[in-house]
Amino acid sequence: MQEQTYIYTINQYIERLLVFETVFKEYAHTCQNIDKGNCYASESLSRLKEYFSKNLIRFNTFVQTVSQLSAPNKYAVFNQHFIEALKEMQSGAIGTLRAIDDENVDHSRFEASVEKQAQARQRISSIFEYIGQPIY
């Protein structure tokens, strides 16, 4: 893949990732509000879980698509780290969803999974230093 095409494509992926990050953060926040009883009557853990599942399916497809992207040598290390961080975020999102039952939340699993997503987001923020480092 040519460098300009890669840059354009990865920028689009980063924009999509920002949407997923926002959605997953909002789900976590909404889950906490529902658990505390600080929510609208129409909000429930079962509905949240349904919406979360639908977006997680989209995110899984997104991660798979990004994983298939072939990076130019100059961006190979960045690309590798980006994909690894996306997979960590994916794992955290899956764990968050699994922590939500129709009636209850497994708080320890929920918090650990939300933290895993936060660490993955931090890792994504730090990987831009790898641009220009080829894989040897």
pTM of the predicted model as reported, rounded to 2 decimal places:
0.89
- Give me the residues paired with residue 105 across strands: 100
Q: What contacts 1, CB < 8 A, 6 or more positions away? A: 9, 69, 70, 71, 72
Q: Is the pLDDT of residue 1 over 80?
A: no
The helix/strand/coil state of 100 is: strand
User: What mean pLDDT is predicted for residues 107-125?
Assistant: 96
Q: Taking a C-beta distance cutoff of 8 angstroms, is the pair 71, 99 a contact? A: no
User: Which pLDDT score, from 0 to 100, does residue 34 have?
Assistant: 94
pLDDT band at 134 (very low <50, low <70, confident <90, very high): low
